Structure 1
Amino acid sequence: MALDSNEHSNKSITKFESMLKTDDVYFFDAEDFEEIVHHYLNNGKISLGKKAIQIGLEQHPNSLELKLLQVEVLAFEDKYEAAEKLLDEIQTIDTRNEEIYIQRANLQSKQDNHQEAVNLLLEALHLTDDTFDIHSLLGMEYLFMDDYEKAKRSFMKCVDFDQNDYSSLYNVVYCFEFLEDHNGAVRYLNDYLEYNPYCEVAWHQLGKMYYALNMFQEALTAYDFAIISDDSFIGAYFEKGKVLEKLGRYNEAVENYETTISIEDPTSHAYLRIGKCHEKLGNIDLAKYYYYNTVHEDPLLDKGWLAITNFHYKIEDFEKALYYVNKAINIDGENPLYWKTAAKIYVALNNLDEADFAYKQTVDLGNYELDTWLNWADTLKKIGDLNSTVQVLVQGLEFYPEKAELLYKLAGTYLKNNEVMEAKEKLAQAIQMDIEKLALFEDEFPEFTQVGWLRTLVSEFKKTST
């Protein structure tokens, strides 16, 4: 009985390794050496792969395929000049071997010369009818160049060649997403499903596109078809749960998340979503149980720590909220969301100096959201440090020059600090920008609402704007 290819390959590898152990010399066909080298390279055993190439070339010195594999190893080791020199030698023997251009393209790509890599791959296309791998490589080069339209077309060609090439299918959808063409992705996936109606991957991706378009019923249908195609497809159950959450169908969402846990080991993400559903349903003890399981399952999941912290904050258990946010900060002190949450809790506990420090950390770590500046300024104002309040608001205006609420708050702070000229200037700017938000100023600084020059400023603006 003839051996199938896998059995033959395994037999060759066993024989080769036996030769290395005994120092005997066995003869192999060049094709056997190619299989042996591919086996080692695919499994990351580079030194054994190099040994197989060396012995293979000793037995078959004219094997271009083994020399091309040697080029591949040289490229892996960043020995670009040696690789190019060997390719030059190979090309003098075989000028129309597309693999030479593919390897040259790989060398250029590794040196970030992506346009040159594209040019070489386009040359390779002219030399062979077997273009699947070349289009795949072209797609990756276009991704490196941020040319998502061309990348999409290349990966589409791969899918045309092989309908089961899910890697290329994912890449096509990724390009549609990056181009923000969700409708285009929906059309493409629906066309694909006309020919592959039981492809769970395509149904899953279609569901995600519908979700992005807020077409939740259509997304549910797509996920249902993904599950019909593969009833153990965890991703489909999980994404379906997210849609059900959006629709307020929390009990059904929990069922889908629990299904993912029953199919495979529990994940922190599933526990987190179940906890959020139970919190929405008012099942406080169950929500707490799943949040604790979330951080137990993955102590580094920031969303888990934030969820359990925010849970205790909402029920006004501020001491516990502080305990958990500090645990999170001890795990990842570079996360600005942890510090921002800590600041909010310190304010609730009236620990304003700590809140000030936490807001400073938040900004230093790159969180420049509008409410960060407003809340930090409020904290400093409560402390009574008006100069620092002014500094924070001025800083905030550098990021949000068109936000009238910052100007009104700054004007009021200037007035409290007896800097009247600066206050007048900022109030005039704020009124010009958005007089409707004057109410924010009047609520926060009621003691200044009847100041004569302010009333005049408002009335003059109203006259000129009518």
Structure 2
Amino acid sequence: MHLSHDEEDYNLSLSKFESMLKTNKVLFFDSEEFEDIILHYMDIGKPSLAKKALKLALEQHPKSTGLKLVHIEMLVFEDKLDIAEKMLNELYAIEPTNEEIYIQKANIYSKRDNHEKAVEFLKIALKYTDDFADVHNLIGMEYLFMDELELAKENFIKCLEEDPEEQSSLYNVIYCFEFLEQYEDAIAFLTKYIDENPYSEIAWHQLGRLNYSIKKYEEAYTAFDYATVIDDFFMGAFMEKAKSLERLGRFEEAIENYNETIRLEDPTSYALLRIGKCYEKLGNEVDALKYYNQTVHEDPLLDKGWIAITDLYFKKKNYQKALYFVNKALAIDSENKLYWKRFATINRALNFYEEAEMGYRKAVEYGDYELDTWLYWVDLLQFLGEFDGAVQTLLQASEYFPEEHEVEYRLAGLYFMQQDIEKGTFHLSNGLRQSYKNKKLIKELFPVVWERKLVQEIIEKYKK
């Protein structure tokens, strides 16, 4: 690779400066060289070297406005805002048309959380600058801080019109579109941008992301594919392409693209897990299990890997192994309602009813309010003879499902079992009103209650 003339000069200046520091021999640099050297050390997080360079620079060029502005930038970075502002006011008296003065004033006001004032100064900077793209980008960022997304978007677009290769503005303008939920507008904007900049892999990738988010998986795949053609080391695009192919049911191609991400970087547990899922969907359980095992080997704390193994063994009716692996997942995330529900379901399949009851209880405790979870839990409590617990659980469930016949019929049966005729009648009437056709639920769950004369009379009353 050949370096440009400017790059060669820049590298030479840095080497010359570092050599000077080692030998304690003072060499001469022009003011612009010093500016580049100081900014370089600030950018790479070496403030002590930046300060050394600044001190030498001001000794050699005490009247340089550029160096004074770099000094001000350093002071702002260190939150020495009052000193920086005083220096800016002195510079303003000498050079009132220097756009960098207004940019640094904006920077100070931004640091003080006065973003409106920062925008005012940046708009003045627009009058004097040649670098409109940079100033519009800065204005866009200030509007982002104020949550003025439309105005931020407008300025990021202006920045891209001036400099289409300003990637941070491209990301930011898409962020604004997404935050405002203007997905179709974002797609239209990117399509136009790509027409003018067809080799922007970032734009193609963002277009793919947007299409994926609105479930246009074919269009997403096409966009990600272009991104990988332009940059065949773009791991993120290969990953997203694989996800799109998976959504399209093209599992073999998805596996190829997940493998491409592994080729580009070390295997990630996510890619290994998705390859396993693809093999499982292809009916190849042997390779699916192999990749799930690789997933948990790569990241033993990835609970989703253990759950994938759990589900595979459950599907194969190997409940003992499924129980072993769901316990692995719960050891990592003991407050996951979905894992507790699996734990309960597996224990129920193994006829471990007390453990299953605990699993459903924990699932509800951690936020699973699905109707079937309540009902499985209640039926287990009833089976274990814990009628009071079953009633309390159903009353809790009725707060989430006030018009649910499955809850009402169970409450009716349990109250009749406890000889509470008044409450039994009330809930049986509710169940019959809500769904007369499902009255046989009482017969299935409470055959003794079903045979009662009073129960049959109540049912008969609702027949019409």
> Normalising by structure 2, what TM-score?
0.81
Give the C-alpha shift of residue 160 in structure 1. Answer: 1.6
> For residue 41 of structure 1, what is the aligned residue in structure 2?
42
1:275 is paired with a residue whose SS is helix
Equivalent-residue separation in structure 2 for 1:320 and 1:50 (angstroms): 63
Q: Kindly tell me: are residues 274 and 115 of structure 1, through their superposed partners in 2, closer, same or farther at Cα, counting changes over 3 Å?
A: same
Q: Which deviates the most, 223-232 or 27-36?
A: 223-232
Residue in structure 1 matched with residue 56 of structure 2 by the alignment: 55
Query: In 1, distance between residues paired with 2:346 and 2:450?
Result: 31
Compared CA separation, residues 4 and 116, structure 1 to 2 (3 A)? same
Compared CA separation, residues 205 and 68, structure 1 to 2 (3 A): same
- Paired with 2:117 and 2:401, the residues of 1 have a C-alpha distance of 44
Tell me whether 1:222 sits opposite 2:223 in the alignment. Answer: yes
Cα offset, 1:278, TM superposition: 1.0
**Cα distance change of structure 1 residues 56 and 248 upon mapping to structure 2, 3 Å threshold:** same
For residues 134-193 of structure 1, the C-alpha deviation after alignment (integer angstroms, 9 at most, x for no partner) is 222333333334333333222222222222233322332333233222222222222122
How many Å separate the matches in 2 of 1:160 and 1:283? 51
Q: Which amino acid aligns with 2:95?
A: D
Please give the secondary structure, in 2, of the residue aligned with 1:54: helix
Structure 1 residues 90 and 362: CA distance shift in structure 2, 3 A: farther
TM-score by length of 1: 0.81
Aligned to 1:70: 71
1:165 is aligned to 166
Question: How many Å separate the matches in 2 of 1:83 and 1:376?
Answer: 67
CA 1:411/1:151 → structure 2, altered by over 3 Å: closer, same or farther? Answer: farther
- The C-alpha deviation readout for 1:254-295, integer Å capped at 9, x for no partner, is 233233333443322221121111111111110000111122
Q: Distance in 2 between matches of 1:152 and 1:288?
A: 47
The residue that corresponds to 1:272 in the other structure is 273
Aligned partner of residue 299 in structure 1, secondary structure: coil
Contact kept? 1:176, 1:184, Cα under 8 Å:
yes
What secondary structure does 2:266 align onto?
Answer: coil
1:232-251 alignment to 2 at 5 Å? 232-251=233-252
Q: Which runs of 5+ in 2 are unaligned?
A: none
Task: Report what 1:149 is aligned to.
Answer: 150
Provide the secondary structure at the position in 2 that maps to 1:205: helix
CA distance in 1, matches of 2:450, 2:126: 75
After superposition, the Cα gap between the structure-2 partners of 1:379 and 1:239, relative to the gap in structure 1 and judged at 3 Å, is farther
Matching residue of 2:137 = 136
1:294-322 per-residue CA deviation (whole Å, 9 max, x = no partner) reads 22223343432332222223223333333
Give the letter for the 1:276 counterpart: K
Residue 355 to residue 15, structure 1, CA distance change in 2 (3 Å): farther
C-alpha distance in 1, partners of 2:46/2:461? 78
Task: Indicate if the aligned counterparts of 2:159 and 2:166 stay in contact, CA closer than 8 A.
Answer: yes
Whether the 8 Å contact between 1:414 and 1:422 is mirrored in structure 2 is: no
Distance 1:386 1:232, change over 3 A: same
Separation in 1 of the partners of 2:337 and 2:379? 19
Q: Are 1:7 and 2:15 matched, yes or no?
A: no
Equivalent position amino acid for 2:313 in 1: H
SS of the residue corresponding to residue 320 of structure 2 reads: helix
- Distance in 1, matches of 2:9 and 2:90, equals 32
Percent identical pairs in the alignment equals 49
Larger Rg: 2
Matching residue of 2:404: 404
Secondary structure, in 3 states, of the residue corresponding to 1:214?
coil
The Cα of 1:408 is off from its aligned counterpart by: 3.6
Once the two structures are TM-superposed, the CA of residue 430 in structure 1 deviates from its matched residue by 7.3
Query: Could you tell me whether the CA contact under 8 Å between 1:36 and 1:49 is conserved in 2?
Result: yes
Secondary structure of 1:24's aligned partner: coil
1:105 is matched with: 106
CA shift at 1:222, angstroms? Answer: 3.0
Alpha carbons of structure 1 residues 373 and 148: separation in structure 2 relative to 1, 3 Å: farther
Q: 1:446 to 1:137 in 2, by over 3 A?
A: farther
* CA deviation after TM superposition for structure 1 residue 452, in Å: 5.5
1:209 to 1:58, Cα distance in 2 relative to 1, 3 A: same
Which amino acid counterpart does residue 404 of structure 2 have in structure 1?
A
Instruction: Find the aligned partners of 1:116 and 1:99 in 2 and give their Cα distance.
Output: 16
Counterpart code for 2:213: A
Paired position in structure 2 for 1:321: 322
Query: Any idea what the Cα deviations from partners look like across 1:392-425, whole Å, max 9, x if unmatched?
Result: 5555666x46773785477458636666666666
Secondary structure of the structure 1 residue equivalent to 2:155: helix
Counterpart CA distance in 2 for 1:38 and 1:176 is: 33
Q: Which residue matches 1:455? A: 459
Aligned residues: 457
Structure 1 range deviating more: 445-454 or 307-316: 445-454
Q: Output the amino acid matched with 2:249.
A: G
Offset at residue 48 of structure 1 (A): 1.8
- Would you say the 8 A contact 1:408–1:441 is kept in 2? no
Shift of 1:121: 3.2
User: How many angstroms does 1:32 deviate by?
Assistant: 1.6
Give distance in 1, aligned partners of 2:43 and 2:70.
Answer: 12
Aligned AA (1:20) = L
Q: Which SS does the other structure have where 1:157 is aligned? A: helix
For the aligned residue pairs, the C-alpha RMSD in angstroms reads 3.8
Aligned to 2:305: 304
Cα offset for 1:428? 7.0
Q: List per-residue Cα deviations over 1:361-403 (Å, max 9, x = no partner).
A: 55665666666555555555555445555555555666x4677
Change (3 A) 1:119 1:300: farther
**CA–CA separation in structure 1 for the residues paired with 2:368 and 2:87:** 52
Displacement after TM superposition at 1:43 (Å): 0.9
Point out the more displaced range, 131-140 or 383-392. Answer: 383-392
Partner amino acid, structure 2, of 1:7: E
**1:7-43, CA deviations, whole angstroms, 9 ceiling, x for partnerless residues?**
2222222333333334333332221221111111111
Contact 1:397 1:406 in 2 (8 A): no
d(CA) in 1 for partners of 2:239, 2:91: 52
Task: Answer whether contact 1:98 1:124 (CA < 8 A) is retained.
Answer: yes
The answer to whether the 8 Å contact 2:391/2:411 transfers is no
Over residues 426-458 of structure 1, what are the superposed CA-to-partner deviations in whole Å (9 max), with x where a residue is unaligned? 6777788x6489679658745566836863785
